[in-house]
Structures are given as structure tokens and as C-alpha cells.
């Protein structure tokens, strides 16, 4: 059965292309209040661990995301700490504290533990250096908190809370940058990005996650050093892109990647959408249209949730929205009357999408799902203004397969016209299509549509063994099933024999 989608409001085509509004700037008083409340909530972990390390003669500090997010009013159960203790001492101390222990990060000085629903990772002070041609850091242990914080990516991630006294440590002004919602590096951005080029992608990702702006000097360094990203492995680039696209404000991050030239190296299909326009050849701004489709697909994500629950960000539907028109630059044709055509950009776009996702080491399932959506995103518009036969509806469901619900989201999100009458007409037409799918699904089990005779029955009726002819017969019966709906076994047998006898 095709699951019925939850009714949610349609996205309203925006009056402009601005991103969803980022959060408002915070006052210092509000920041302090939020931090105090979060530290009180974390007290069962912080106070016990702080005393444990202090009694052993070592420093312990809560660091990174948990400190930053405490100021933003966000809660964590996974906590990161840094310590003066070497890994073997950390392991000994945590073994008596946690109910489970792991050391997969020992090479980087990290020991992890779990207790009562809390997950902690404690890392020895680090001082890292990078080979300019290497993808991986050379890890060396440091001897101070300030040096450890100074090697972190951004000032908002370079704050700490010393334990057990809960003393706030902010040697690089992260709290001011957080209050003003700006991303800066603790040292010079050139040194930071030279050490780890992936931090350039992390700047875009954090802009998308937090809704922050990026300091001008950081943007300049990203633009000048974009080529350094090529030494980073495809898997690490992929992981940052997924986090960016699944963030609350992906337009902010994607725009930054395009403006700095990083997108030319990690996702070149996106900046390629900025097609030249002139007064004689008219078409939509494909790049801005694409970002708007992405935002509208995000608004429609609740349709993908089952049982009324929020399923969270859906990468496949978001990435399909981002890639749905990437075939347009390759298929653009200028006509004498001033119009522009993009014939077959859906098919070309699916091939480009598959190629890019393979280069970024996505799984086969993800590649298949996104590519299928890109290839099918125009199918709805190929049936006029709603003159859908039952046969067309069956084929639509068959071709979409498990991506039908995501195809509904993508097709609806692809309407960015400011003509309210046209938008409403498209919405009604698609509403009717979904109703038709639901009705036929209940009657015919569309999601599992197959011929009325199976392979064994075909071979027995025709007196043939396994081979190419069985496949041809099977496909013929499937086409009849799609065209006419379910048949009785007698009718299917008669149709198959008629087809068999008419063959050359």
C-alpha cells in the first residue's frame, strides 16, 4: 500500500529569495542565564567527573559544542571534555565511573564512557600540526588549556568550563562572537585553514546550522585558499555537505560555498546553475530557483513523517531539490523568439547527479534514490493539466517506486511561480493526482504492481524453459497490467497466448 501523506500547508512561493530568518542576537545577560541553567542540568556529570580528575591531580574542562550550545539554549547528553591527564590515566579514571568504556579514539588521545544515559569523551590536551600535502593531522599532546583551545576551528567552539569549580574560560572572545552571531578563527584564518582545509567547509556548515555570519577576513581566506580543499578526502567533504544540507539554514552555507569558489571544487553543479541572462533570452534564474525549491522542500518535510511524528531533516529529498535542475546548463538552447529551452534536462541531470554522488562516495541506495527523483521531477508536468488516465497513474507510481512520497514533495516544491492563480491551479492538479493514487492503491495495491501471471505460469502455458522469451512475456503482461489494471487469470492467459501467436 502507498502510505497516505499527512496534510500540511503548501509552501507559499516567496516574494524574495532570502533565507529563512536566522535567530536574533543574544544579550550577555541572556547568555549567562542560559549557561547557568544548562550547567545546573549537567551537574550530575560535571561535578562528579570534575572531582574525580581533580583528586587525581589533573585538570578537566567541558569544551566545544556543549559550551556553545548551552549559550544558545540547546541541551546535550553527549559531552566533550579536555584534560591534562594522558589517555592511560583518563581510561583508569573513567573505568571506575562509567558503565561502559571505549578507546577507539586513543590514537587522538580520546577515551569515551557511558553512564546513566550520558555519553562523555575525554581528550588529552592536543597540539596538532599538519603536513601541507596530507589529509590527516599529526597528533601531539599539549600542556595547557589555552593552547588546546587555540587549535580549534572557531572562537565560538574555543570556550570551556573548568571543573569542578565551573569557571568560564574564553581566551579568544568566543562569547562576544556568539552574542553577535559571527564566526571567527582563534588565530589567523590563513593559519587555521592551512592546518586543516576542511575548516573552510565547516565555516559554511556552521553558518547553515547556527544562522551566523562569517567574518570578512574568514571569507577572504576561504576564497584565496579554496584550492586547498582538494587534499581532503571525498568522505570528509561528503560528511560536511550532508550536515550543511540538513541544517536549518542551508541557503546560508551553500551561498557561502558558491561565493568563495569552494563549490566549484566540491559541488560544481551548483554554481554552474548561475546561467547568463540577457534582455533577449528569458528564463528563470535557475540558481535562485533551486535554492528556493530546497527551502520549500524543507517546509514540506512533515509530509514524509509517519504517525504524526517529526522525522527530522531528510537528506535525500533535500539533495534531490538541490540537484533537480543541474542538467539545465548542459541542455540550454536559445530560440529565435527570445525563449530558452532545457529539453531532457531531467535525464541529463540524473546522470550528473549520479556521477557527483559517486565521486563523493555516497552509498548506492542514496545515489539511486536521489538520481531517480531528479529524473522524475518533470513527470507530473508531462500530463497536461490533469488529464491523467489510470494507466498514467499506475506508471507514475511504478516508476517512482519507494521514492513516491519524496517525489510528491519535490514536485510540489518545484513550483516557485509568483503567479498565485497558476500556483493554486498546480496545487489542485497535484492534489487530484494524489487522490487518484490513493484510490487506485487501495483497489489494486499499486506499490506492489506486477503481472497477473508469474514466470512459472508463463513457462508452463507457453511450453518454454527459462530464457529471454520469458522476460519478454513478463514485460508484456506488466504493460497490460499498467494499461488496464488487474486481469483475471483466464484473461491474462488469453492475452499472453494472443501475444505469443502474433510474434514473428
- The 3-state secondary structure of 194-213 reads HHCCHHHHHHHHHHHHHCCE
CB 90 within 8 A of CB 80: no
Do the strands 100-102 and 126-130 form a parallel or antiparallel pair, or are they unpaired? unpaired
- Cell 506508471 sits at which residue? 395
Summarize pLDDT for 98-116 with one digit per residue, the tens.
Answer: 999 999 889 889 999 999 9
β pairing state of 78-83 and 118-124: parallel
Contacts of 11 (CB under 8 A, 6+ apart): 295, 296, 299, 300, 412, 413
Q: Residue 498's pLDDT band (boundaries 50, 70, 90)?
A: confident
Name the pLDDT band for 2 (thresholds 50, 70, 90): very low
Buried b (16+ CB within 10 A) or exposed e, 287-321: bebbbbbbbbbbbbbbbbeeeeeeeebbbbbbbbb
The residue written with cell numbers 520469458 in the block is: 470
> Are the CB atoms for 248 and 209 separated by under 8 Å?
yes
Q: Going by DSSP bridges, is the β-strand pair 213-214/182-183 parallel, antiparallel, or unpaired?
A: parallel
Over residues 197-202, the mean pLDDT reads 97
Percent with pLDDT over 90 in the chain: 57
Q: What is the pLDDT of residues 322-376, one digit of tens each?
A: 999 999 999 998 888 878 889 999 999 999 999 999 999 999 999 999 999 999 9
CA dihedral 60, 61, 66, 71 (to 10 degrees): 150
- In terms of Cα–Cα distance, which of 64, 67, 63, 61 is closest to 36? 67
Confidence band, pLDDT 50/70/90 cuts, at residue 29: confident
The overall average pLDDT reported for the chain is: 87
Quickly state the pLDDT bin for 382 (edges 50, 70, 90): low
Task: Determine the average pLDDT of the residues in 468-472.
Answer: 82
| Angle between helical axes of 455-462 and 489-502 (0-180°, round to 10) | 60
- Which pLDDT value is given to residue 365? 97
Q: Residue 472: its pLDDT value, please? A: 81
Domain 24-180 has CATH 3.20.20.150: no
DSSP symbol at 118? E
CATH architecture under which domain 269-448 falls: Orthogonal Bundle (1.10)
Residue 121 neighbours by CB distance under 10 Å? 18
Torsions phi, psi of 333, nearest 5?
-130, 135
DSSP-assigned letters across all residues of 347-393? HHHHHHHHHHHHHTT--HHHHHHHHHHHHHTTGGGGGTTT---HHHH
**Is 80 within 8 Å of 47 (Cβ atoms)?**
no
Q: Is the dihedral of CA 439, 443, 444, 448 positive or negative?
A: positive
Task: State the pLDDT at residue 280.
Answer: 44
**Residue 131 has what pLDDT?**
63
User: At 334, which helix (H) or strand (E)?
Assistant: strand 333-334
pLDDT at 17: 40
C-alpha distances (whole Å) from 234 to each of 169, 229, 266, 357, 503 are: 35, 10, 9, 10, 51
pLDDT at 133 over 80: no
Q: What is the pLDDT of residue 137?
A: 60
Residue linked to cell 579514539: 105
> What's the mean pLDDT in 442-448?
59
Structure confidence at residue 446 (pLDDT) = 54
Least confident of 210-224, 401-415, 424-438, 444-458: 444-458
Angle value at C-alpha 326, between 320 and 331, nearest 5 degrees = 140
Q: What is the pTM of this model?
A: 0.82
Which regions of 78-175 does DSSP assign to beta strands (E)?
A: 78-83, 100-102, 110-115, 118-124, 126-130, 137-141, 160-163, 167-169
The position carrying cell 541529463 is 348
Going by their DSSP bridges, the two strands 110-115 and 100-102 should be labelled as antiparallel
Q: Which residues pair with 183 in a beta bridge?
A: 214
Confidence of residue 477 (pLDDT cuts 50, 70, 90): confident
Mean pLDDT calculated for residue range 138-163:
91
The stretch 301-315 carries a mean pLDDT of 76
- Taking the domains of the chain in order of start, what are their residue ranges? 24-180, 269-448, 455-502
How open is the CA angle 352-358-361, to the nearest 5 degrees? 145
Amino acid at each position: 500500500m502507498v502510505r497516505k501523506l499527512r496534510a500540511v500547508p503548501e509552501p507559499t512561493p516567496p516574494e524574495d529569495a532570502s533565507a529563512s530568518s536566522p535567530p536574533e542576537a543574544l544579550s550577555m545577560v541572556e547568555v549567562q542565564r542560559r549557561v547557568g541553567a544548562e550547567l545546573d542540568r549537567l551537574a550530575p556529570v560535571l561535578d562528579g567527573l570534575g572531582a574525580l580528575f581533580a583528586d587525581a591531580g589533573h585538570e578537566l574542562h567541558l569544551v566545544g559544542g556543549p559550551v556553545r550550545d548551552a549559550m544558545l539554549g540547546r541541551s546535550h547528553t553527549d559531552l566533550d571534555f579536555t584534560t591534562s591527564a594522558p589517555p592511560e590515566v583518563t581510561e583508569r579514571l573513567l573505568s571506575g565511573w562509567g558503565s561502559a568504556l571505549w578507546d577507539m579514539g586513543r590514537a587522538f588521545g580520546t577515551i569515551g564512557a557511558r553512564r546513566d544515559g550520558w555519553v562523555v569523551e575525554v581528550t588529552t590536551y592536543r597540539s596538532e600540526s599538519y603536513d601541507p600535502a596530507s589529509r590527516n593531522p599529526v597528533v601531539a599532546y599539549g600542556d595547557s588549556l589555552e593552547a588546546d583551545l587555540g587549535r580549534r576551528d572557531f572562537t565560538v567552539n574555543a570556550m570551556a568550563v573548568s571543573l569542578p569549580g565551573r569557571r568560564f574560560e574564553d581566551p579568544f572572545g568566543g562569547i562576544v562572537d556568539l552574542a553577535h552571531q559571527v564566526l571567527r578563527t582563534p588565530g589567523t584564518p590563513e593559519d587555521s585553514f592551512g592546518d586543516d582545509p576542511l575548516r573552510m567547509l565547516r565555516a559554511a556548515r556552521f553558518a547553515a546550522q547556527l544562522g551566523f555570519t562569517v567574518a570578512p577576513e574568514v571569507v577572504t581566506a576561504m576564497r584565496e585558499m579554496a584550492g586547498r580543499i582538494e587534499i581532503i578526502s571525498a568522505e570528509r567533504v561528503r560528511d560536511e555537505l550532508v550536515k550543511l544540507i540538513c541544517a536549518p539554514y542551508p541557503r546560508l552555507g551553500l551561498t557561502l560555498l558558491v561565493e568563495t569558489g569552494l563549490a566549484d571544487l566540491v559541488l560544481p553543479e551548483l554554481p554552474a546553475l548561475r546561467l547568463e541572462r540577457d534582455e533577449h533570452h528569458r528564463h528563470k534564474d535557475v540558481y535562485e530557483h533551486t535554492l528556493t525549491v530546497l527551502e520549500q522542500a524543507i517546509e514540506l518535510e512533515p509530509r514524509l513523517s509517519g504517525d504524526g511524528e517529526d522525522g527530522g531533516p531528510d537528506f535525500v529529498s533535500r539533495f534531490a531539490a538541490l540537484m533537480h535542475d543541474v542538467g539545465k546548463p548542459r541542455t540550454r538552447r536559445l530560440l529565435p523568439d527570445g525563449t530558452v529551452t532545457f529539453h531532457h534536462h531531467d535525464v541529463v541531470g540524473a546522470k550528473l547527479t549520479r556521477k557527483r554522488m559517486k565521486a563523493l562516495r555516497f552509498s548506492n541506495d542514496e545515489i539511486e534514490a536521489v538520481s531517480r527523483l531528479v529524473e522524475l521531477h518533470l513527470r507530473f508536468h508531462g500530463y497536461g493539466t490533469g488529464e491523467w488516465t489510470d494507466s498514467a497513474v499506475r506508471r507514475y507510481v511504478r516508476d517512482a517506486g519507494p521514492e513516491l512520497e519524496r517525489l510528491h514533495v519535490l514536485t510540489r516544491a518545484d513550483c516557485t511561480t509568483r503567479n498565485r492563480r497558476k500556483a493554486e491551479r498546480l496545487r489542485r492538479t497535484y492534489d487530484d493526482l494524489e487522490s487518484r493514487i490513493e484510490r487506485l492503491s487501495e483497489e489494486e495495491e499499486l506499490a506492489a504492481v506486477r503481472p497477473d501471471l508469474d514466470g512459472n505460469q508463463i513457462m508452463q502455458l507457453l511450453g518454454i524453459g527459462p530464457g529471454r522469451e520469458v522476460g519478454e512475456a513478463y514485460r508484456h503482461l506488466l504493460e497490460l497490467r499498467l494499461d488496464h489494471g488487474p486481469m483475471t487469470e483466464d484473461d491474462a492467459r488469453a492475452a499472453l497466448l494472443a501475444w505469443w501467436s502474433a510474434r514473428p
